[in-house]
Structure 1
Amino acid sequence: MNQPIVQSLQGVTLAGGGPFSARDLKFALSRAPVPVAADGGADRLLRAGVMPEAVIGDFDSLTEAARQAIPKARQHPMPEQATTDFDKALRSVSAPFVLALGFAGARLDHGLAVFNTLIRRAGQRCIVLGPSDLAFAAPAELELRLRPRDTVSLFPMAQVRGQSTGLEWPIEGLDFAPDGMIGTSNRVTAPLVRLVFDGPGMLVILPRRRLDAAIRALTQP
């Protein structure tokens, strides 16, 4: 990767152009206090009274008002159309983790593209926040401190096998694939859930109230 545009020792809140509330933004910034925008997400940040540290994207949805309000040094246009604004922004950030707001639920094709980027940029440790749940790309090994009866969904974006402890329905021996076996709506049976995968490609989906557990799991040494 080229020199990142944003380098932070703290978590980054990445705002997209999709809908999110002021409460959602406060929730994210309390954990990831560095605000960055992907294209039109800058307008949403400004409306919430937050100045982005950087705006990254092709700028096809950034309003003229936002261009005038944000210092030029913080604007980083990338006109190429081969990748999404989410991809452009995520690959341009170096931080312990990224919380992505405004990327889930607006359009189905956009949502699928976001999940594609999560898998391809798994090393960025990005968590996408939706209205009621969250999603991230699973590392090879993952330990999550959850509560019994919490829902854990596993959705494969590639062929992958794994092992688990702490789930009601163990995943050993299952051949996961996007056009085959999936693992949605599993349930937690123990305070510690351990997952091991034989390769990349698995999305983990948790209730949003377990965000802190997801952050700890992705950032622990």
Structure 2
Amino acid sequence: MKTKRLSSPSPVTLLGGGDLGEGDLALALGLAPLCIAADGGAEPALEAGIDLAAVIGDMDSVRPEALARVPPDRIHRIAEQDSTDFDKALRSVAAPLVIAAGFTGLRMDHQLSVLNTMVRRADRACLLLGALEIAFVCPPALDLPTRVGDVVSLFPLQPVTGRSAGLEWPIEGLDFAPGYRVGTSNRALGPVRIEMDGPGMICLLPRDLIAPVARSLLELPAHARWPAREEPRRGPPRS
């Protein structure tokens, strides 16, 4: 389905209706002041007095009285039920970086769906904020501002190979795949460089690295990012 694209030259905070920890909003907005909500994410934003640039989704998770507080021209209703509100929002926003908050905690199926969408939309730079970690799809190559002893977890959502420098357990020569080999709890020996042969690898790092990792993702030129994938055939409807 063709969706109206919302463009921003600067990073965007995308809010969901999941768990928002103390300080999550301030941390995300400090890095990406323009705020967009995915459906039910409008409610915590409005409660915090945030001026929403847009609300995107099928609008089945936000109360009508809350939605009435958003100017009509900022409401982007996408009625189809073949994708989640996170997917609807991520595919509708063109920005150099999206900081996604409020998409972890609560329902596990929603968290898995968010990670799946991040890989599916690997051409969109998206940094997922969790309670203890941040997560993002590894681009073709990225230098990470890690410190000695930092946990670096690599979790594949499709078969993928790559190389690393600065990890205690290098990944070169390893075949990663869901249900086979994963890279949980590797450790940094200092700054780390990761190179991937294709999209599909989720990298998880300590939460306090969000600002320097965001800068590293923003500095990637267009040719150093994954290209957009051809839209796959829709699966069964999701609630």
- Residue 41 of structure 1, CA deviation: 0.3
Residue 13 of structure 1 is matched in structure 2 by: 13
CA separation in 1, counterparts of 2:117 and 2:73? 26
Residue 115 of structure 1 is matched in structure 2 by: 115
Deviations 1:106-149 (A, max 9, x none): 21110110000000111110011011101111111111121111
Residue 180 of structure 1 is matched in structure 2 by: 180
Deviations 1:177-215 (A, max 9, x none): 11101001111102x211111111100001110002221
Residue 46 of structure 1 is matched in structure 2 by: 46
CA contact (8 A) 2:153 2:203 kept: yes
Equivalent positions of 1:65-80 (< 5 A) are 65-80=65-80
Equivalent positions of 1:72-111 (< 5 A) are 72-111=72-111
Aligned residues: percent identity?
Answer: 51
1:26 aligns with 2:32: no
CA contact (8 A) 1:4 1:91 kept: no
Deviations 1:32-53 (A, max 9, x none): 0100000010011001111210
User: Mind listing any 5+ residue stretches in structure 2 that lack a counterpart?
Assistant: 222-239
Q: Which moved more, 1:14-23 or 1:135-144?
A: 14-23
Deviations 1:86-122 (A, max 9, x none): 0000011111100001111221110110000000111
Report the 3-state secondary structure (helix = DSSP H, G, I; strand = E; otherwise coil) of the residue aligned with 2:25.
Answer: helix
- Residue 22 of structure 1, CA deviation: 5.5
Report the 3-state secondary structure (helix = DSSP H, G, I; strand = E; otherwise coil) of the residue aligned with 2:189.
Answer: coil
Question: Following superposition, which runs of at least 4 residues in structure 1 exceed 3 angstroms of deviation?
Answer: 1-5
Residue 197 of structure 1 is matched in structure 2 by: 196
Residue 215 of structure 2 is matched in structure 1 by: 216
| Distance of aligned partners of 1:39 and 1:194 in 2 relative to their CA distance in 1, 3 Å threshold | same
CA contact (8 A) 1:4 1:94 kept: no
Equivalent positions of 1:144-159 (< 5 A) are 144-159=144-159
What TM-score, normalized by structure 2, do the two folds share?
0.89
CA separation in 2, counterparts of 1:84 and 1:196? 30
Residue 232 of structure 2 is matched in structure 1 by: none
Residue 161 of structure 1 is matched in structure 2 by: 161
- Residue 3 of structure 1, CA deviation: 6.8
What TM-score, normalized by structure 1, do the two folds share?
0.96
Residue 124 of structure 2 is matched in structure 1 by: 124
CA contact (8 A) 2:148 2:189 kept: yes
Q: Which moved more, 1:210-219 or 1:39-48?
A: 210-219
User: Mind listing any 5+ residue stretches in structure 1 that lack a counterpart?
Assistant: none
CA separation in 1, counterparts of 2:85 and 2:72? 18
Q: CA RMSD in A?
A: 1.3
CA contact (8 A) 1:158 1:177 kept: yes
- Residue 9 of structure 1, CA deviation: 1.3
